[in-house]
Copies of this chain bind each other. A is one copy, B any other.
């Protein structure tokens, strides 16, 4: 059977999420994907959208928190959209990162406020550009799932920003529960300690693992 793709084990090539930039991929229901923290220091802002109506139905952190009754999600959890439809299940997680759900995507306005200029690369614009590459558009920036980002809540209220604890190659594995489009941004942040703490965004990767 050499050279013949065997359903159940076939893998697409590893795909690049360039440092400080975005990428998007459509997934069919049942397909699995691995998101890889290639260098171990990189936050990957992550969004999911219903393929048929991305502007109307999307992975929603505030709905997931409501239903799952937790601020960080675990292997086995099924994440939902703003319409309460299952969109992704977490199949595996090699990290202890907890993956922040509380903090906004970085944006042009954030870097302007921080004195980093008018045109700093940012995850909000990366989302729009990645969707545009698939001829899609949404009228706002949903709150992202910040893969590999550590922003723990202390004393029931205080948010702390911490450096990443991932090892190179750490990854999460997800299964699509609906036909969807996933968007990744190798976070452009060079200010907060969460994104490595050395001011240098780095590449990340994803790989579609065929169902």
Contact = CB atoms under 8 A, between A and B. Distances in A.
Contact of A69 (B107, B113, B141, B159): B159
Q: How many protomers of this protein does the assembly include?
A: 2
A139 interface: yes
A6 B133 CA distance: 58
A80 to B, nearest CB: 9
Interface residues of A, number: 36
A161 B110 CA distance: 33
18 contacts: A55-B140, A61-B143, A63-B104, A66-B102, A66-B103, A66-B159, A69-B158, A71-B102, A71-B159, A84-B110, A84-B112, A84-B113, A139-B139, A140-B140, A143-B143, A153-B156, A153-B157, A154-B156
Interface of A: 55, 60-63, 65-66, 69-72, 82-84, 98, 102-104, 107, 109-110, 112-113, 139-141, 143, 152-154, 156-161
